[in-house]
């Protein structure tokens, strides 16, 4: 573990270019397994976050492994995340997640695979929205 990787899992490489439009800042991805549904370690640099998005048909599980981050569902207050937190994202819920302003952040993302499941990327979390978080 180093100062840029708060997780015990490998940090991986910068996200592939096809994901760049859906993130503000730099994130890293290390797929740990694709057996039984992918499990990946996702690491966000400070202030990095993904766009609002929806998992259709099946949800996603986030297991926070290091640093501090945010998770927010549409129409609700953002919640601060710390190591050991578990977020069960229900299908069809618009949400985003990412690092706090001054901390690297890592979570394991567990994809729930069901026939017909997909991910819909939406608008970015604006700097104005993000900078209001305390």
Instruction: Note the pLDDT tens digit of each residue in 37-93.
Output: 799 999 999 999 999 999 999 999 999 999 999 999 999 999 999 999 999 999 999
The residues, any chain, with a CB within 8 Å of residue 91's CB and separated by 6 or more, are 55, 56, 57, 58, 59, 117
Number of structural domains the chain divides into = 1
Residue 20 included in any domain: yes
Tell me if 58 is assigned to some domain: yes
Q: Confidence band (pLDDT; 50, 70, 90) for 101?
A: very high
Residue 8 lies in a domain: no
The pLDDT > 90 percentage for the chain reads 85
Domain that holds residue 32: 13-131
Residue 116 lies in a domain: yes
Residue 5 within any structural domain of the chain: no
Residue 2, domain member (yes or no): no
Domain annotation covers residue 53: yes
| pLDDT recorded at residue 2 | 52
Report the range of poorest mean pLDDT among 1-5, 12-16, 47-51, 54-58. 1-5
Which CATH number is 89's domain given?
2.60.120.10
Q: Pick the closest to residue 28 from 2, 53, 52 (CA basis).
A: 2
Domain-embedded: residue 7:
no
């Amino acid at each position: 573990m180093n100062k840029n990787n708060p997780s015990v899992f490998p940090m991986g490489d910068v996200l592939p270019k096809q994901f760049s439009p859906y993130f503000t800042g730099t994130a890293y991805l290390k797929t740990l397994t694709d057996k039984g549904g992918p499990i990946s370690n996702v690491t966000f640099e400070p202030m990095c976050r993904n766009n609002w998005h929806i998992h259709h048909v099946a949800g996603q599980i986030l297991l926070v492994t290091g640093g501090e981050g945010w998770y927010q569902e549409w129409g609700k207050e953002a919640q601060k995340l710390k190591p050991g937190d578990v977020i069960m994202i229900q299908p069809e819920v618009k949400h985003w997640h990412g690092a706090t302003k001054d901390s690297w952040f890592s979570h394991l993302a567990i994809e729930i695979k069901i026939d017909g499941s997909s991910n819909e990327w939406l608008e970015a979390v604006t700097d104005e929205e993000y900078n209001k978080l305390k």
